[in-house]
Amino acid sequence: MAGANASATTTNENLDCMFQTLSDDFHIKPISFVETEGWIKIMNLTAILLVITSACMHAGWNFFSKKQSPSIVFFLLASLGTIVWFSPVLVWGAELISSMDSTLWIILWTAGLFQAVYYAGLAGAYMHGAFSIAYPLARTLALLFVVMLTFVTGRGTELSFYALTGILAIMVGAIILPMNSFRDFRLLNYLNPSCLFAVMAAAGTAGYSFIDDIGMENINSLSADMPELGRALVYLQLECITTVAWLSLFQLYTTKKKKSCGTNWRSMIRPAFFTGLAIGATYGIVLLAMSYSVNVSYVVALRQLSIPIGALLGIFLLREFAPLTRYLGVGILFIGLILVAVG
């Protein structure tokens, strides 16, 4: 959607590479590392500022989507916006694209399907429920699903104590988040459209993250003369194209939204294209931050700031009801993600 020496570690050697795939709604391996001293050995000030900016932008474009018009049409137009804003990348990568085989195209179409499921899930979650619940839930459950998927398929390493503790914290936080009080433990808190769509969005994220990891291995193995950063951006653009195709099919067969599409889509173009720019820019900022970071897991950990930021945006700007359990649930989810990322 958004040279230095390439230095990527495969996922089966380091689970952090898969965690990195969750850094934005488009995901790849780290591009390079810079050696520094002390805390700056892990991530220097430039990387910290870039990652915080990326986290704010991610929470921001999701908040903007919730406030504008959370629908399949909106995210379809946003994906088109990303393609338009970053279209020069396709010209730059023409040689690379021409060298792609059918296997890589199948991977891209599969990733695009999961990306479309993610957007459809976000649209449903934001339409039917509170942003301060749906956004943190979709973000954290996605990481949990990816960890489970990589572990089951053997693409990840053995989970550490910190990672297992983090997974447990995520589960506890996800249970607490929708509750209005500690006495309000009811199945209805979870079996509602917003939470179910958030789970759908998380499943979509996990799906395309897992497929993207395979896709980036594939595209990096091509012989075309192009740096890894460029290959990542080309992959982003091509995945956006397949996502638009799948979202168009979703919209076509969603009769209720199909009826409203003709009257509403024109008014959505400007905000949706703005969102598409933010999505692509967020991805690009993450790539840039990776080039300054020695350890990708710390980049991923710091990016989880988007979760409390998103929750606070919903509570204070959308004036959503926020009991103590809301703050506690978000806090536990945030801690759990940090533990998984660094563990």
Instruction: Yes or no: say if 67 and 274 are a contact pair by the CB < 8 Å rule.
Output: no
Residue 22 confidence (pLDDT) above 50: no
User: Between residues 334 and 69, which one has the greater pLDDT?
Assistant: 334
Cα–Cα distance for residue pair 86/97, rounded to 1 Å = 15
User: Which pLDDT score, from 0 to 100, does residue 160 have?
Assistant: 81
pLDDT band at 338 (very low <50, low <70, confident <90, very high): confident
Among 17-21, 67-71, 259-263, 299-303, which stretch is predicted with the lowest mean pLDDT? 17-21
Which residues 6+ apart lie within 8 Å of 267 measured at CB?
Answer: none
User: Between residues 295 and 52, which one has the greater pLDDT?
Assistant: 52
User: Which pLDDT score, from 0 to 100, does residue 236 have?
Assistant: 93
End-to-end CA, the chain: 28
**Cα separations in angstroms, 303 against 183, 197, 254, 285:** 32, 23, 34, 11
Residue 328 confidence (pLDDT) above 50: yes
Residue 16 confidence (pLDDT) above 60: no
Q: What is the mean pLDDT of residues 96-114?
A: 97
Element (H, E) at 311: helix 306-316
Which residues 6+ apart lie within 8 Å of 238 measured at CB?
Answer: 97, 108
Span 32-73, pLDDT tens digits: 434 445 544 555 677 788 888 999 999 999 999 999 878 999
User: So where are the chain's domains?
Assistant: 17-25+37-342
pTM assigned to the model: 0.83
pLDDT band at 1 (very low <50, low <70, confident <90, very high): very low
User: Which pLDDT score, from 0 to 100, does residue 158 have?
Assistant: 67
User: Which pLDDT score, from 0 to 100, does residue 74 have?
Assistant: 95
User: Which pLDDT score, from 0 to 100, does residue 221 have?
Assistant: 93
Span 263-293, pLDDT tens digits: 477 889 999 999 999 999 998 898 877 766 6
User: Which of the residue ranges 258-267, 283-292, 326-335 has the most confident prediction, judged by mean pLDDT?
Assistant: 326-335
pLDDT band at 256 (very low <50, low <70, confident <90, very high): low
Which residues 6+ apart lie within 8 Å of 298 measured at CB?
Answer: 42, 43, 341, 342
Beta bridge partners of residue 293, listed in sequence order: 43
Residue with tokens 């919903």: 314
Residue 152 confidence (pLDDT) above 50: yes
User: Which pLDDT score, from 0 to 100, does residue 111 have?
Assistant: 96
User: Which pLDDT score, from 0 to 100, does residue 29 have?
Assistant: 41
Tokens representing 343 are: 């563990």
User: Which pLDDT score, from 0 to 100, does residue 258 have?
Assistant: 53
321 class by beta-carbon count within 10 Å (0-12 exposed, 13-18 middle, 19+ buried): exposed
Q: What is the mean pLDDT of residues 314-342?
A: 91
pLDDT band at 103 (very low <50, low <70, confident <90, very high): very high
Residue 15 confidence (pLDDT) above 70: no
Cα–Cα distance for residue pair 133/67, rounded to 1 Å = 15
User: Which pLDDT score, from 0 to 100, does residue 19 have?
Assistant: 42
The Cα angle at residue 292 between residues 289 and 296, in degrees rounded to 5 = 70
Residue 343 confidence (pLDDT) above 80: no
Tokens representing 255 are: 């009769």
